[in-house]
């Protein structure tokens, strides 16, 4: 495997960053994960738009021109022979002697990796669906920035695993569902409306979420962007999560309560099936 590190393509096994990289010491950096499907990087432009937003929010400069960044992403995918899988990129504020204040000199540091993932794994998982637990929201209020500071997400997802589930939903004190540890949360109401929380505040604006809203519009589905509670989700006709790596993945159980008959719903499966017809395909 080949990784891109600060201007060089290196063997993945030899890839290394400086011990004083601020990403390592302060989680002072941002990242993106893009799906690679049939040799295409899915929704690359939207991912780079969000990267731009995250970088601006933290006053980190682009490490290179955006066009160059696109070329490097494609190159890493190609050099790793990834037809299906994912490409990971992270940009940190760079390397400087440890100090909280922004360094005057440091150039942003970049790491890009790619890896193959067999699409049959997610396809099989979608046939049975996943289980979700709920956990209290304990993150900061700038989760709209895709920061590499993911410790609450790590702990929540580990708790999910230990409970026999595959995702954890962060829940506000008022009982509304924010989002998953690495996904956005959706339900389908008894009368067939698709519901997901507005992305203006308190969640990451998922790229898959945005594209799925377009898929839903194309299918003529009724959509409500509003908050929903855990109780409403448990009583819903369907529940599911979305992310670049899972696309739209049925949720069949929340905190041990089966959703509807405990099988994946039909609406999430049609959204999933139509996703790649709508998503932007960037030749890798």
The set of catalytic residues is: 146
SS3 229: strand
Q: Is 105 helix (H, G, I), strand (E, B) or coil?
A: coil
Q: Which is nearer to ligand PLP, 205 or 263 (CB)?
A: 205
Provide the binding-site residues for ligand PLP, judged by CB under 6 A. Answer: 33, 179, 182-184, 204, 206-209, 242-244
Residues 41, 46, 47: CA angle, nearest 5 degrees? 65
Nearer to ligand PLP, 92 or 182 (CB): 182
Q: Are 279 and 36 in contact (CB under 8 A)?
A: no
CB of 21 to ligand PLP, least distance (A): 21
Quick one: 95 or 216, whose CB is closer to ligand PLP? 216
Cβ neighbours of residue 155 closer than 8 Å, sequence gap 6 or more: none
DSSP codes joined into one string, 72-85:
HHHHHHHHTT-SSE
CB of 11 to ligand PLP, least distance (A): 27
Q: How far is the CB of 212 from ligand PLP (least distance, A)?
A: 9
C-beta closer to ligand PLP: residue 93 or 157: 157
Q: Which is nearer to ligand PLP, 153 or 270 (CB)?
A: 153
Do residues 204 and 167 make contact, with C-beta atoms less than 8 angstroms apart? Answer: no
Q: How far is the CB of 49 from ligand PLP (least distance, A)?
A: 11
* CA–CA gap between residue 203 and residue 184 (Å, rounded): 8
CA distance 158 to 160: 5
User: Contact, 147 vs 54, CB < 8 A?
Assistant: yes
170 neighbors 135 (Cβ within 8 angstroms)? yes
Q: Shortest Cβ distance from residue 39 to ligand PLP (Å)?
A: 19
């Amino acid at each position: 495997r080949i990784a891109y590190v600060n201007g060089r393509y290196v063997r993945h096994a030899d890839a290394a960053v400086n011990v004083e990289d601020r990403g390592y010491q302060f989680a002072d950096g941002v990242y993106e994960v893009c799906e690679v499907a049939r040799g295409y990087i899915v929704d690359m432009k939207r991912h780079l738009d969000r990267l731009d937003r995250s970088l601006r929010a933290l006053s980190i400069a682009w490490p290179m021109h955006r066009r160059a960044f696109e070329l490097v992403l494609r190159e890493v995918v190609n050099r790793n022979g990834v037809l299906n899988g994912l490409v990971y990129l992270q940009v940190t504020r760079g390397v400087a002697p440890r100090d909280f204040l922004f360094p005057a000199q440091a150039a942003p540091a970049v790491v890009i990796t790619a890896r193959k993932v067999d699409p049959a794994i997610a396809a099989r998982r979608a046939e049975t669906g996943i289980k979700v637990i709920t956990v209290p929201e304990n993150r900061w209020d700038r989760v709209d920035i895709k920061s590499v500071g993911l410790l609450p997400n790590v702990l929540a997802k580990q708790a999910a695993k230990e409970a026999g589930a595959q995702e954890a939903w962060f829940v506000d004190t008022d009982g509304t569902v924010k989002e998953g540890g690495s996904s956005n949360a959706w339900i389908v109401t008894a009368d067939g409306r698709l519901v997901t929380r507005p992305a203006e505040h308190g969640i990451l604006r998922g790229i898959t979420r945005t594209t799925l809203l377009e898929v839903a519009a194309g299918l003529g589905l009724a959509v409500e962007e509003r908050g929903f509670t855990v109780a409403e989700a448990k009583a819903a006709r369907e529940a599911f999560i979305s992310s670049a790596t899972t696309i739209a993945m049925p949720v069949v159980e929340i905190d041990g309560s089966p959703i509807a008959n405990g099988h994946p719903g039909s609406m999430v499966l049609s959204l999933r099936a139509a996703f790649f017809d709508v998503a932007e395909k960037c030749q890798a």
